[in-house]
Amino acid sequence: MASDEYHRRTLITRLTLRNDEDEQLLLDTIEEWLDGCNIASTLAWNTCHTKSDVRQLAKQQIKQETKLGDQHATLACHEVAGAIKSCIECRKNGKKASQPQFTSRSMTFDRRTLTVFPDQETVTLTTLGNHSRVHADLSLPEAEDGYQRVYLDSDEWEYTESTLHYRDGDWYIHLGYRTPKEDDDSESPTENGTVLGVDLGVNQIAVTSTARFFDADELNHYRREFEKTRGSLQQTGTQSAHRTIESLSGREERYVKHVLHNVANGIIEEALEHDCDGIVFEELDGIREDLPEAAWHSEWAFRKLKDFVEYKAEFEGLFVDTTNPRNTSKRCNECGFTHDDNRHAGQFECQSCGRTNHADYNAAKNVAELYLRRGHQSSGRRSVSQYALKSGARTPS
């Protein structure tokens, strides 16, 4: 079955190791894994990027120069192939991309190198060479209905591949699960379907056409504090300061992802509450030009948010699509008059009909309305003709 014929989920939890010897063995294994990935990256860069080609080129040298066993050497080659392929895609899009370097304390495991025991809430992980496996306990929440147990205890979800992370003295495991998508060819088309419009911004992370606001004040404050601390450490210039900066960057990224996960959950909830069939964003290409006050990390955050929404929407049977952002911020959603002077900072005042509104809310409604007016239709048996509002729905005339 092809990879796109599965629903995929990731179970994230902490691991508790049983003794110091096991912890050191896992740390040593990760260091060897990073060495193996960097060996493969050096050999394959500008040469090949498919899993089979990288494996054929680098696997034996990895086994000769590290203590990795056969399967870990194979997985290292696959990791490098994926990283190089991503670099090639960046270059195609006009972005700079240098040879991948592997430094983060994390590594990949598969069904051969990691076994899950749901009844015991434990895992075993293969380490270096022919060493016996390390046993570790999954630190699951006490609630019996926690999302982790939904996958661990299910006969429908199959364990696939996982990533082990070591951060700030703690161990985390991201366990991958999948289940086949249902064959829905027999379903009838959805007529008169509804979409939820979403506008992305700097002061508001997201605003929906149903008037749900996801404020960015706390996130922006948190990032400003990080920038101050980072700037102070950079002036210090010591090796210790450099290590602290790396640790701060990882902590900042984890915090941002946590916030974006919550926003994505809220967007999905809003779509389900208003019986929507899909969610519409603006196209993110060129967002720096549309939001000149947004820093580079805002662009990354917007793309990550859209990824999270797509991931969660798939499981709920919702589609996610985009529309050209042209005029979504300048057009009056009530009368259709479009002019640069309609928008003043965070407020919208139509120069024609005089209607006033929050600028981002007006834009969110336009995202949905212009998506429908421009004749967009999602792929696969959905016919959408209206968009959700705070109360009811509207069909563009």
Map the chain to HEC letters.
CCHHHEEEEEEEEEEEECCHHHHHHHHHHHHHHHHHHHHHHHHHCCCCCCHHHHHHHHHHHHHHHCCCCHHHHHHHHHHHHHHHHHHHHHHHCCCCCCCCCCCCCEEEECCCCEEEECCCCEEEECCCCCCCCEEEEEECCCCCCCHHHHHHCCCCCEEEEEEEEEECCEEEEEEEEEEECCCCCCCCCEEEEEEEEEEECCCEEEEECCCCEEECHHHHHHHHHHHHHHHHHHHHCCHHHHHHHHHHHHHHHHHHHHHHHHHHHHHHHHHHHCCCCEEEEECCCCHHHHCCCCCHHHHHHHHHHHHHHHHHHHHHCCEEEEECCCCCCCECCCCCCECHHHEECCEEECCCCCCEEEHHHHHHHHHHHHHHHCCCCCCCCEEEEEEECCCCEECCC
C-beta pairs of 94-103 under 8 Å, 24+ apart in sequence: 99/41, 99/42, 99/45, 100/37, 100/41, 100/45, 101/38, 101/41, 102/34, 102/37, 102/38, 102/41, 103/34
* Domain coverage including residue 279: 191-392
Q: In this predicted structure, what is the pLDDT of residue 177?
A: 87
The domain tally of the chain equals: 2
| Banded model confidence at residue 66, pLDDT cuts 50, 70, 90 | very high
Residues 173 and 199 in one domain: no
Taking 90 as the threshold, does the pLDDT of residue 255 lie above it?
Answer: no
Lowest mean pLDDT among 249-253, 275-279, 335-339: 249-253
| pLDDT reading at 253 higher than 60 | yes
Same domain, 133 and 37: yes
What does the pLDDT average to over 243-260? 76
Greater pLDDT, 245 or 77: 77
57-65 long-range contacts, CB within 8 A, separation 24+: 62/36, 65/35, 65/36, 65/39
Q: Please tell me whether residues 278 and 219 are part of one structural domain.
A: yes
Q: 267 with 198: CB under 8 angstroms? A: yes
Query: Are 245 and 290 in a shared domain?
Result: yes
What pLDDT score was predicted for residue 379?
44
**Averaged pLDDT of the chain:** 83
Do 199 and 170 fall into the same domain?
Answer: no
pLDDT, average across residues 127-148: 76
- What per-residue confidence (pLDDT) applies to 295? 52
Q: Kindly report the pTM of this predicted structure.
A: 0.56
Q: pLDDT confidence of 296, banded at 50, 70, 90? A: very low
Q: Say yes or no: 254 and 368 in one domain.
A: yes
157 with 219, same domain: the answer is no
Percentage of the chain beyond pLDDT 90 is 32
| 397 within some domain | no
Q: How far apart are CA 169 and CA 176, in angstroms?
A: 23
Residue 264 resides in a domain: yes
Whether residue 146 lies inside any domain: the answer is yes
Q: Is residue 186 part of a domain?
A: no
